[in-house]
Structure 1
């Protein structure tokens, strides 16, 4: 159904051109839009006209027209006046509203189709049949973005994204839940993943500027057929989760660049718990003090370089060596040894993953 705001804009525009007052009444007898005030007296006549077999009728100085879509009466249009010019304008207005109904219904149908496509709710034969009916190409390259903002039900952010891609008729913006906005974007033949990153950054900048809202964006891999769109969506969902766990400092996360985070994310929790017990015994990285954790993180950031790490921490080299020796005694792992450093780094990532999954289970 068209919003009353759209109908009001339409009748206001027609009146500005023709100087003829118009009123739209829905099939429940409620006034949807009007350009004059004394319309209540016309409602009873409109209800009577609904039961009439005529498509148009003149009653009490008004011309009435039916707006029908697929044999269903949607609206009654009133045009004030009885002249031939008013009749012609009324017919044009009814035709315009009918076209709006068709356009909005197609938009709704497309939105519904895209949602079911993302959630993998369509049989393959239905997928291609409905896509053809809705004039959606099936064999073009596409990628799915998930845009998550701070606030749930952020309609302002949704409209901004829609406005940003308003001219891209082959791109689709929808939402399958209250937390995120989904963009199914057509990918041109020469577009690279670096350019997909730039698109994501443009969206983030626009949301920051227009909606004063920070956002995180994840996207899947480029797919070449409409049946694979749901796979790109699932990849984007995983990328969003993995990004929150391991790459929280990044606003844009691509599934194709998740690295070891993708592997850890797919590990069963019991296996993770067994691994942590094996590495740390009865301890957990949460038991380390802030000084030790900051030392560990800085040491990894500097590729196990003792001199550079001590310089950036503003401590003597021997102090850093003392801390690393102390850590080795408590864990059995020497971070200056490459194999031990990798084991420790993976263990820290596994702990992050376990804490994230635990926090999800509590909601």
Structure 2
């Protein structure tokens, strides 16, 4: 009862019958085996979007649309993942659904004029590692192979440029969301 059909030269849809009660991890394992098979046996790089499991055929279109949204959001926010589930998009789904005018207004409010553009790649990399290490200065400095004071200096420099102290949880959240919004706007979504 599975169906496979092409919707374009590069896009194929698999409608897979699954047992009731199958959990999200099992769905992702199945998707992973499909990606691995396509890659290993056919040398095809595949990305899989997973919609919400449905009970009735009438809900198929909504699940398909969710899988499409998962792939679009994945392209914008997490380009490394091969499997993106609609149920695990988190804040990225929220940002993706915001009007671009609201996003631009948010960025203007959060950042001083041009301050986010003034951050170089090294600084953005430092910020990314700082977030990955849960705002821990010592862990981040070890991971970056820099002295702790060097990292503190960089964080102070970011604070002067943006007005946000990334060592403060509330400021870190605002900055993280702002970076995601900037990434979303850089993907040139439809203006509205």
Same fold per superposition (TM over 0.5): yes
Q: For residue 314 of structure 1, what is the aligned residue in structure 2?
A: 145
TM-score using structure 2 length: 0.95
In structure 1, C-alpha distance between the alignment counterparts of 2:20 and 2:155, rounded to whole Å: 51
Q: Deviations over 1:74-123 (max 9, x none)?
A: xxxxxxxxxxxxxxxxxxxxxxxxxxxxxxxxxxxxxxxxxxxxxxxxxx
Structure 2 stretches lacking a partner, 5+ long: none
1:215 is aligned, of 43, 46, 49, to 46
- SS of 2:47's equivalent in the other structure is strand
- SS of 1:182's equivalent in the other structure is strand
Give, in angstroms, the shift of residue 283 of structure 1.
1.3
Q: For residue 13 of structure 2, what is the aligned residue in structure 1?
A: 182
Q: Are residues 1:280 and 2:111 paired?
A: yes
Q: Are residues 1:304 and 2:154 paired?
A: no
Q: Are residues 1:292 and 2:133 paired?
A: no
Q: Deviations over 1:186-218 (max 9, x none)?
A: 111242211111111111111112221211111
- SS of 2:84's equivalent in the other structure is strand
What is the aligned length?
191
Structure 1 stretches lacking a partner, 5+ long: 1-169
More strand by share: 1
2:28 is aligned, of 160, 182, 197, to 197
Q: Does structure 1 conserve the Cα–Cα contact (< 8 Å) formed by 2:48 and 2:83?
A: yes
Query: 4+ residue stretches of structure 1 with deviation over 6 A?
Result: none
Q: Does structure 2 conserve the Cα–Cα contact (< 8 Å) formed by 1:276 and 1:284?
A: no
In structure 2, C-alpha distance between the alignment counterparts of 1:353 and 1:318, rounded to whole Å: 33
